[in-house]
C-alpha cells in the first residue's frame, strides 16, 4: 500500500509540474537572502514578501504567517490599522507605525514599528522572543535566526513536507543557504534556484546531500519532489567549504510560502 501511495504521489506531482497555472506568481522576488529558519525548515518566502531586516536591525515577518505557518490566530482592522494575534498562550495587539504593543492587556514597548509592506502588515519577531519565551537562537554558521520552539511547527507547509518525507533520519545544520533566485519560464513554470554552502568542515560525498523545497500555493495546493528522487539527480560531491546550486521548476501560480530543508542523509537512508 505504501509503495502504491508513493507511486500515486509521483504521478500527481508530474501532472502538477506540467500544469500551466492561470494565476501568476509575480510577487516572488527575483533574488533574496534567507534570514529565518523554523526547526529544520529554512523559510525562503512568505507572501507578499520574504522576511526582512528593517532599519532598526529587527527581523519582520508577515502577520498572516503567524497563523498559516506557526499556529496563531490573527485578525486585522484596516480602519484602525490594528492587528490582534493569539499565539504562544498570549494575546497580542499591534498598531501600524507604533512601538507600543499590548500583551495580555499590558503595554509593551518595542524597539521598532510594525509596518505595511506590499499591502500586508509585518511584525517584529523580537517581541515574542523577549516577552513570550519563544525559543530561538542565532546560528552564526547558518547565518539565520532559528526558531527552536516545537509548538510552532504546525502549519500546512510543514505538515505537507513531513507527509511526503521518506527520509526520517538525517543530519541538519550541514548547509548555509546563501540566497535563492526565481526565473520565470515561457511554459507557465518558474525555476527556483537555491544557492548553499557546505559548512560541515569536510567533503560531502555524491548522493549524501539533500536540498529541496516545497512550494505552498494560495489555492491550497503544494508542489515538491516526492523525496524518492523520481525526477531530480543526486547532488554531486561538495568540497569542504564549497558551494552548490540546486534547481527545480514549479507551476507559476500564486505562491503563499516556500520552505526548504538542507541536510545530509543518514547511512540507513542511502
CA–CA dist 194, 185 (Å, integer): 17
- Residue (of 112, 107, 138) closest to 124 by Cα position: 112
pLDDT bracket for residue 27 (50, 70, 90): confident
| CB neighbours of residue 159 within 10 Å | 12
DSSP β-bridge partners for residue 38: 41, 147
Asked whether the predicted pLDDT for residue 212 surpasses 90, the reply is no
Q: pTM for this one?
A: 0.88
- For 223-247, the pLDDT digits (tens) are 987 655 545 678 999 999 999 999 9
* Mean pLDDT for all residues in the chain: 88
262 SS3 class: strand
> Given this model, what pLDDT does residue 232 score?
67
CA–CA dist 195, 222 (Å, integer): 22
Average pLDDT in the 9-37 region? 59
> Given this model, what pLDDT does residue 54 score?
97
- For 107-143, the pLDDT digits (tens) are 999 999 999 999 999 999 999 999 999 999 999 999 9
Average pLDDT in the 210-221 region? 94
Amino acid at each position: 500500500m505504501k509503495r502504491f501511495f508513493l507511486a500515486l504521489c509521483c504521478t500527481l506531482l508530474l501532472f502538477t509540474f506540467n500544469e500551466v497555472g492561470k494565476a501568476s506568481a509575480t510577487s516572488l522576488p527575483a533574488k533574496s537572502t534567507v534570514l529565518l529558519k523554523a526547526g529544520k525548515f529554512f523559510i525562503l518566502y512568505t507572501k507578499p514578501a520574504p522576511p526582512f531586516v528593517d532599519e532598526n536591525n529587527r527581523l519582520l515577518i508577515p502577520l498572516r504567517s503567524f497563523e498559516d505557518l506557526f499556529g496563531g490566530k490573527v485578525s486585522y482592522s484596516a480602519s484602525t490599522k490594528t492587528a490582534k494575534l493569539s499565539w504562544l498562550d498570549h494575546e497580542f495587539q499591534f498598531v501600524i507605525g507604533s512601538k507600543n504593543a499590548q500583551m495580555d492587556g499590558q503595554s509593551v514597548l518595542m524597539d521598532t514599528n510594525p509596518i505595511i509592506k506590499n499591502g500586508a502588515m509585518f511584525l517584529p519577531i523580537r517581541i515574542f522572543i523577549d516577552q513570550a519565551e519563544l525559543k530561538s537562537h542565532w546560528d552564526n554558521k547558518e547565518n539565520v535566526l532559528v526558531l527552536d520552539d516545537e509548538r510552532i511547527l504546525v502549519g500546512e507547509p510543514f505538515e505537507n513536507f513531513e507527509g511526503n518525507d521518506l527520509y526520517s533520519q538525517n543530519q541538519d545544520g550541514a548547509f548555509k543557504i546563501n540566497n535563492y533566485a526565481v526565473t520565470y519560464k515561457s511554459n507557465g513554470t518558474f525555476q527556483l534556484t537555491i544557492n548553499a554552502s557546505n559548512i560541515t568542515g569536510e567533503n560531502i560525498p555524491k548522493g549524501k546531500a539533500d536540498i529541496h523545497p516545497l512550494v505552498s500555493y494560495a489555492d491550497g495546493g503544494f508542489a515538491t519532489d516526492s523525496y524518492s528522487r523520481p525526477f531530480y539527480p543526486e547532488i554531486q560531491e561538495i568540497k569542504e567549504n564549497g558551494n552548490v546550486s540546486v534547481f527545480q521548476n514549479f507551476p507559476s501560480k500564486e505562491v503563499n510560502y516556500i520552505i526548504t530543508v538542507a541536510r545530509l542523509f543518514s547511512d540507513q537512508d542511502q
